């Protein structure tokens, strides 16, 4: 499909490519109890966004959600027993560095269907709001960020409970205006893997833009990041960050339920002194209306745990929840 512009772009863009989002426009819109409006998950080229314009009244009795539709998680890769316990922040998984979660920084993300994950960006350094991967022996991964930063991944494996702090670094919190940008939640990094089937992180949530004259919500609206899975022997993945909910309502907005953009939990492990994952950061919610009757939740994700409650730093073994305790809520 070819797109021809009738006017120049309002601002320059440095990116080599762009996603064009087709916006559905309605006179009035009702999402019925059994109905669900969601986005195609972001695949590196397209997806991750819902955009709806309603000239009149919008009623949500069903569900609008972009859970886990955002930036992708670091993909689990079983290395060959190589691991680096030095200060290196950026290497590839095949050299013993678990994959980073996807963030806004320009990097050649590789996951399912994107080529060889062994050559993906790896190491404990974050990728802006993408969480860093576990480093050294079985360290946990960092959580993704958006309105709030992610949490740091847990320590490397140690039989005497004092493993080094080589967990993935936290995905950064992002400061931006929702009036100018829609941002996807950052993906959690992958934990260092030698034996487990999967140490991938949680995927970040997508973004939604809704404009209506009035908004009535009796159903659910959420943009929650994904939680990382449990591992048996290896470092666990970081949680995905909550996404962005942008609501522009010219008159009254009322909601019977809380609208959520929460971060996902870091992964836990059933083995002692193995690094759990850091939590995913809370999302970003914006509501502009003349009369606000809605409430919001943008909680940060919790850190995972390991099996020894007496290990250094306790059951979390160096893994931290996302910080601060919530993302950003703007109600001007």
Q: Residue written as tokens 């000239």?
A: 55
329 pLDDT more than 60: yes
Q: Where are the alpha helices (DSSP H) in 161-224?
A: none
Q: Are 205 and 242 in contact (CB under 8 A)?
A: yes
Q: Within a domain: residue 190? A: yes
pLDDT digits (tens, 9 = 90+) for 127-173: 999 999 998 889 999 999 999 999 999 999 986 556 788 899 999 99
CA 265 to chain centre: 10
For 250, other C-beta atoms within 10 Å of its C-beta total 14
pLDDT digits (tens, 9 = 90+) for 271-290: 999 999 999 999 999 999 99
φ, ψ at 119 (rounded to 5°): -105, 15
Q: Within a domain: residue 272? A: yes
Say which range, 35-39, 83-87, 109-113, 253-257, has the weakest mean pLDDT.
109-113
The pLDDT value given to residue 313: 93
Residue 2 banded pLDDT, cuts 50, 70, 90:
confident
The pLDDT value given to residue 306: 97
CA-to-CA distance for 251 and 85, rounded, in angstroms? 57
The pLDDT value given to residue 175: 92
Q: Which of 184, 201, 181 is nearest to 193 (CA)?
A: 201
The token duo for 274 is 């193995």
Three-class DSSP category at 229: coil
pLDDT digits (tens, 9 = 90+) for 172-198: 999 999 988 999 999 999 998 887 778
Give the count of domains, the chain: 1
Residue 72 banded pLDDT, cuts 50, 70, 90:
very high
- The answer for residues whose C-beta is within 8 angstroms of residue 270's C-beta and 6 or more apart is 230, 231, 232, 307
Predicted TM-score of the model (pTM): 0.93
Q: Within a domain: residue 13? A: no
- Which structural domain range is residue 111 located in? 21-332
83 pLDDT more than 80: no
The pLDDT value given to residue 163: 78
36 pLDDT more than 70: yes
CA 91 to chain centre: 22
The pLDDT value given to residue 143: 98
Q: Is the peptide bond before 324 cis (omega within 30 degrees of 0)?
A: yes
CA-to-CA distance for 239 and 281, rounded, in angstroms? 8
Per-residue buried b or exposed e for 1-34, using 16+ beta carbons within 10 Å of the residue's own CB: eeeeeeeeeeeeeeeeeeeeeeeeeeeebebeee
Q: Where are the alpha helices (DSSP H) in the chain?
A: none
Percent of the chain with pLDDT over 70: 90
Q: Within a domain: residue 16? A: no
Q: Are 317 and 275 in contact (CB under 8 A)?
A: yes
Say which range, 59-63, 88-92, 303-307, 328-332, has the weakest mean pLDDT.
88-92
Residue 110 banded pLDDT, cuts 50, 70, 90:
low
Percent of the chain with pLDDT over 90: 67
How many CA atoms are closer than 13 Å to the CA of 10, on its beta-carbon side? 1
The pLDDT value given to residue 81: 64
Q: Within a domain: residue 159? A: yes
Per-residue buried b or exposed e for 177-214, using 16+ beta carbons within 10 Å of the residue's own CB: ebeeebbbbbbbbbbbbbebebbbbbbbbbbbbbbbeb
CA-to-CA distance for 326 and 152, rounded, in angstroms? 16
């Amino acid at each position: 499909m070819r797109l021809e512009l009738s006017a120049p772009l309002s601002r320059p863009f440095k990116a080599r490519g762009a996603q064009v989002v087709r916006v559905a426009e309605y006179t009035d819109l009702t999402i019925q109890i059994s109905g669900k409006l969601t986005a195609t998950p972001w695949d590196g080229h397209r997806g991750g966004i819902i955009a709806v314009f309603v000239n009149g009244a919008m009623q949500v009795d069903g569900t609008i959600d972009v859970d886990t539709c955002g930036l992708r998680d670091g993909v689990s890769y079983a290395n060959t027993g190589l691991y680096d316990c030095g200060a290196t922040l950026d290497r590839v998984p095949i050299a013993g560095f678990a994959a980073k979660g996807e963030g806004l920084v320009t990097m050649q993300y590789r996951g399912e269907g994107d080529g060889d994950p062994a050559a993906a960006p790896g190491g404990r350094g974050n990728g802006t709001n993408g969480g860093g991967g576990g480093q050294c022996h079985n360290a946990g991964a960092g959580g993704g960020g958006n309105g709030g930063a992610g949490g740091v991944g847990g320590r490397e494996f140690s039989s005497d409970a004092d493993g080094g702090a080589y967990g993935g670094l936290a995905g950064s919190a992002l400061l931006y205006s929702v009036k100018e940008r829609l941002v996807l939640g950052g993906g959690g990094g992958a934990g260092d893997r030698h034996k487990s089937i999967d140490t991938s992180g949680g995927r970040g949530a997508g973004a939604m833009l809704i404009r209506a004259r009035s908004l009535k919500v009796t159903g659910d609206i959420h943009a929650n990041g994904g939680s990382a899975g449990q591992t048996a022997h290896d470092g666990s993945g970081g949680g995905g960050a909550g996404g962005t909910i942008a609501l522009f309502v010219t008159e009254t907005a009322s909601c019977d339920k809380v609208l959520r953009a929460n971060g996902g939990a870091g992964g836990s492990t059933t083995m002692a002194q193995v690094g759990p994952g850091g939590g995913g950061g809370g999302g970003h919610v914006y509501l502009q209306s003349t009369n606000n009757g809605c409430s919001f939740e943008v909680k940060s994700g919790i850190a995972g745990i390991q099996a020894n409650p007496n290990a250094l730093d306790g059951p979390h073994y160096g893994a931290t929840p996302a910080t601060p305790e919530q993302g950003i809520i703007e109600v001007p």
